[in-house]
Structure 1
Amino acid sequence: MSDKCDLCLLGLIILSSLLTGSSGVAYDHVFISSGGNVRLSCNKALPDCTWTYSNSFIHSAVELISGGIKKKDTERHERLSLESDCSLNITNVTEEDYGEYICRQFVNGRHQGPDADVFLHVLHVSVSSSSSSSSSSQTEISPGRSVTLSCQLYSFAVLSCDYWVSSEGFEMLWVNQTGVDLKTDSRYQISSSSDQYRCIIITLTTTLLKEDDNREWRCQITHRKQLKTSVRYTVKYSDPGETEVSVNAGLLYRVIVTIVEIAVFVPPTVILLQIICARRAGRKDSRPPEEIEMPAILQ
């Protein structure tokens, strides 16, 4: 019985060390929000290294770096760079960059030391509303509309999400500008779920108020109360006052143009008509009396 307990304890210690990277095995977990830049360490400063990558979308590892040189046939080629110590930099991270990155180092063609095994976890927010749809950190919507913000943690790790939450103290929250958990406010409906690609999905739904203009909400993930990464989302309304002023200004401009056109073209037209009428009247007055037709009643 004692042997079984010792074995269970050893198993938990190993699992915990995999997550924290505190054992002799070179595991690391890196959290980043989409759109950010990240650096993945290879542990040793050797010029000859190979980086491979895999996640839930692909069945076999993809080689990103070979012999210290970037592979040009990868989709993320332009966003990758390699430092002198073989650390891998990824710029403008997307949710598709999540996964397991393995760095192997070589000396004279021979594999040296333990591999650096890095699990990259990407936090991403998408938004939908009854008037617009966007995946950016800011969108133009209007009060009275319902908006849903979906915060998703893309992960590919050796440990299950349930283990992370229940045993390792990971937590994902929607908070306001002052860091207060929005679950404490009844105007927000918050739910959570997960799927094959996204370890945690936490959704916030609310009806927008006038005072929500320029309001910031933040989705964050913490490990034992320590912030790992976060994504900010700002509500931005279009100003109806500015729109009205713009419309009125446009209308006023058209009225002024019309008045000017009338002022320019009407007087010459009136003068021309007066001249024509005067000439016609002069012609009638100059005719001899016998040429003037008498009304039928006087004939």
Structure 2
Amino acid sequence: MLGLVLELVLIVVLQFEGTSGGELHLYHRAGDDVVLRCRSPSSSYSCSNVNWFYSRDPSTNFPLEVKDGKVVESSPRAARLNVDSNCSLIINNITAEDAGRYFCRLGSGNTYDDSLLLSVLTISPSPPEDDPTKDGDVTLNCSLERHSWLGPCPENSLLWVDETGTGLTGEGVGFKLGPRSCASSLTVQHQSGTNRTYTCRFVVENSVKVEAHHTAVFKGMMTFK
């Protein structure tokens, strides 16, 4: 009999943008392509006058990611950056390290015309599910990386639900939650022939900003005599 095959599916089903304090907040999942928009005075404005800056925390300088409309080649992520015809900054295949504050500046002035805060949600199993024939516990780790200026995540803002939409809290059959801050873990029991879906959500004031699924799919293979 052939072994069981385990597939891990990580899917973002909601991406949210909102404003707070005059800044745009964006929430995405690791692996997404993100477009950071820069407002220009008119459609005829030349992007050759646009500069993009990035800050991960308030203690660091604001390195240039885009200078005069062109990606700075010395940037460690230059290969994943691009500027479109609307002067927007495009980041491909984002990672947790891309979280932070982005500034768009038009022209040679000293003021930043746009400020955007990008937060990145990641979810991964530990240990990696490389042996689908083995039953046992697997811990799903969910974390939201964001600019340190925002401080700790609101209490109970990372929530877990199962495939029925039922919230998972405390200890119960088949799961155990870890600490809740900007990171949360859920320990689940993998059993051969059992398919379960778990969703990690970042929620603020009853509004889901971003969520991702972990689906463990066990596929049984038949043999013929």
Paired AA for residue 34 in structure 1: A
| 1:39 maps to which of 35, 38, 58 | 35
Retained in 2: the 8 A contact 1:141–1:237? Answer: yes
Give the alignment of 1:197-208 within 5 angstroms.
Answer: 200-208=182-190
Q: CA separation in 1, counterparts of 2:132 and 2:126?
A: 10
Where is the strand percentage greater, Structure 1 or Structure 2? 2
CA RMSD after TM alignment: 2.9
When normalised by structure 1's length, the TM-score is 0.60
Shift in CA distance, 174/51, structure 1 to aligned 2, threshold 3 Å: same
Q: CA separation in 1, counterparts of 2:200 and 2:67?
A: 37
Q: CA separation in 1, counterparts of 2:133 and 2:169?
A: 23
Q: Which structure's relative contact order is higher, taking Cα pairs within 8 Å and 6+ residues apart?
A: 2
Identity in percent: 25
Shift in CA distance, 202/22, structure 1 to aligned 2, threshold 3 Å: closer
Shift in CA distance, 193/220, structure 1 to aligned 2, threshold 3 Å: closer
Retained in 2: the 8 A contact 1:142–1:238? Answer: no
| 1:209 Cα deviation after fit | 2.6
| 1:60 Cα deviation after fit | 3.0
Where is the helix percentage greater, Structure 1 or Structure 2? 1
| 1:178 maps to which of 141, 161, 164 | 164
Shift in CA distance, 62/141, structure 1 to aligned 2, threshold 3 Å: farther
* Match in the other structure for 1:165: 154
* Match in the other structure for 2:25: 29
Paired AA for residue 28 in structure 1: L
| 1:184 Cα deviation after fit | 7.0
When normalised by structure 2's length, the TM-score is 0.77
Which structure: larger Rg? Answer: 1
Retained in 2: the 8 A contact 1:125–1:152? Answer: yes
* Match in the other structure for 2:69: 68
- Could you list the runs of 5+ residues in structure 2 that have no partner in the other structure? 1-17
Retained in 1: the 8 A contact 2:103–2:112? Answer: no
Equivalent residue of 1:35, what SS?
coil
Please list every run of at least 4 consecutive aligned residues from structure 1 whose deviation after the TM superposition is greater than 6 angstroms.
none
| 1:238 Cα deviation after fit | 5.7
Paired AA for residue 105 in structure 2: R
